[in-house]
Amino acid sequence: MTHPIDDAVLDLIYAQDPDAAAILAGEQDRQAHTIELIASENHASPAVVHAAGTCFTNKYAEGYPGRRYYGGCAHMDEIETLARERAKQLFNCEYANVQPHSGAQANMAVFMALLEQGDTFASLVLKDGGHLSHGMSLNFSGKYFKPVHYPLHYDKAHPQHEQIDYDAVRSVCMEHKPKLLLCGYSAYSRTIDFAKFRAIADECGALLMADIAHIAGLVAAGEHPSPFPHCDVVTTTTHKSLRGPRGGLILTNDVEIFNATNKALFPGVQGGPLMHIIFAKAVAFGEALKPGFKDYQQRVRANAKALAAALTDHGYRICSGGTDNHLMLVDLTARNPELTGRDAETWLEAANIICNKNGIPDDQRKPMVTSGVRLGSPATTTRGFGEAEMKQVAVFIDRILTAGLKGEDALAAETEAVRKEVRSLCGQFPMPGGTPATVFFSQ
């Protein structure tokens, strides 16, 4: 089965530019026939995908609704207002800026609005599950501001081993008195206690920011506690568990922070907003407001738990002891000390299973090698995988990694076998809107 709009788009581009169309067809085919386990990726609906490809791309609309620097913005105002209203409803807050091109740019705008150059902020370090824009030395956040990092519990005997150490967060904050305390992570599988962060922020006199890029869909559906009313400002991406187009969002209940972050984003960080993406954000937020979205997010969590349990049964270790959300960090060395994240990512990709290598807490290996992989369930759940399929995914992963340890011949044979089974499984769970056109390949 093919999706008619995908076919029409492909035909249209093919007629004008066969070279570009061939690349698009290749990517459609790759997405349709691989198991996508990257925790920050998803399969947006055909409505969202095609909303991002509309004539809204033609329009400049610097400024905000009602205050634009260009004429012809009536429909820009309508769509940006609709996107804002839906974002506010979804996250239960007073103000939303839907213009950030990405999560990193949303974060940059918040930093520029709330901090002066050289000001101190507290966050989790990248290698423990944070994000580049939370203070990495080469990023704007680490170059122009002063990060101090709070640690995870790192004590195998501790019940919260590899989880946020709230006492340590407090000590770091009381010692350094950051102007901003940042929570929310890229590779953290446990529930974040926003109320505890609020209490620490109040005690040390910091503003509290949450970057919920990963968990936004869960938060919107009530499957993870909300950062509101605890946080002063919240940023997110729109394309991960939220299943919208690629982009960012800034949310707050504070009108002064709203005004300051608006100014910091435009004209501070960005020029013209991507109106076609804002259009697609409005469509995606509309989808997320429908009752089925809660069911989807419940299945995302159940599927992540099922995958984590099955991998544990195969001898892998799930960092922090499990997952409360959509993702998990898998310590491969528990299965075999020779396994690396780099090898796992490469070997699995050859068998049509896509994931990313990821450092585990206290990883002694370099970031391009690592001892772990990060796996997530949003994309497979969108395709309709249930817990039985997630168990099967764990079997595929273990077969490939076991074969890889045996050597090249064993790996080649098992890759061939697993790839066939993966393609067959994917065939039973088409992409949203149907498996894309294969007609193209016979032209």
Residue 52 in contact with residue 279, Cβ under 8 Å?
Answer: yes
Q: How far is the CB of 174 from ligand DSN (least distance, A)?
A: 29
Residue tagged active-site, from 62, 85, 349, 387: 62
Q: Can you tell me whether residue 63 is helix, strand or coil?
A: strand
DSSP secondary structure string, 136-187? -TTSHHHHSSEEEEEPBP--TTSTTTTSB-HHHHHHHHHHH--SEEEE--SS
Q: Which is nearer to ligand DSN, 50 or 239 (CB)?
A: 239
Residue 91 in contact with residue 215, Cβ under 8 Å?
Answer: no
Q: Which is nearer to ligand DSN, 103 or 135 (CB)?
A: 103
Q: How far is the CB of 186 from ligand DSN (least distance, A)?
A: 4
Is 144 annotated as catalytic? Answer: no
Q: How far is the CB of 103 from ligand DSN (least distance, A)?
A: 6
Residue 387 and residue 399: Cα distance in Å, rounded?
19
Tokens for 29? Answer: 């085919």
31 phi and psi angles, rounded to 5 deg:
-65, -35
Of 248, 245, 192, the C-alpha closest to 219 is: 192
Residue 170 and residue 250: Cα distance in Å, rounded?
26
DSSP secondary structure string, 266-317? IIII-SS--HHHHHHHHHHHHHHTSTHHHHHHHHHHHHHHHHHHHHHHTT-E
Q: How far is the CB of 272 from ligand DSN (least distance, A)?
A: 23
Is 246 annotated as catalytic? Answer: yes
The 3-state DSSP composition of the chain as helix, strand, coil percent (nearest 5) reads 50, 15, 35
DSSP secondary structure string, 208-247? EEEE-TTTHHHHHTTSS--STTT-SEEEEESSSTT--SS-
Q: How far is the CB of 213 from ligand DSN (least distance, A)?
A: 6
Pairing mode, if any, of strands 95-97 and 67-68? Answer: unpaired
Q: Which is nearer to ligand DSN, 33 or 246 (CB)?
A: 246
Is 349 annotated as catalytic? Answer: no
Q: How far is the CB of 152 from ligand DSN (least distance, A)?
A: 17
Q: How far is the CB of 437 from ligand DSN (least distance, A)?
A: 29
Q: Which is nearer to ligand DSN, 186 or 333 (CB)?
A: 186
Residue tagged active-site, from 240, 301, 357, 374: 240
Q: Which is nearer to ligand DSN, 212 or 437 (CB)?
A: 212
Is 338 annotated as catalytic? Answer: no
Residue tagged active-site, from 170, 246, 365, 399: 246
Q: How far is the CB of 136 from ligand DSN (least distance, A)?
A: 11
Q: Which is nearer to ligand DSN, 239 or 383 (CB)?
A: 239
Q: Which is nearer to ligand DSN, 3 or 281 (CB)?
A: 281
Q: How far is the CB of 216 from ligand DSN (least distance, A)?
A: 12
Q: Can you tell me whether residue 434 is helix, strand or coil?
A: coil
Of 251, 239, 234, the C-alpha closest to 88 is: 251
Residue 7 and residue 24: Cα distance in Å, rounded?
11
Is 62 annotated as catalytic? Answer: yes
Q: Which is nearer to ligand DSN, 320 or 415 (CB)?
A: 320
Residue whose beta carbon is closest to ligand DSN:
40
Residue 317's CB is within 10 A of a number of other CB atoms, namely 17
**Binding site residues, ligand DSN, CB under 6 A:** 40, 103, 131, 186
Q: Which is nearer to ligand DSN, 297 or 356 (CB)?
A: 356
Residue tagged active-site, from 60, 144, 154, 166: 60
Is 240 annotated as catalytic? Answer: yes
Residue 337's CB is within 10 A of a number of other CB atoms, namely 9
Residue tagged active-site, from 237, 261, 323, 333: 237
Tokens for 217? Answer: 């869909």
Cα dihedral 36, 188, 130, 264 in deg (nearest 10):
80
Q: Report the catalytic residues.
A: 60, 62, 211, 237, 240, 246
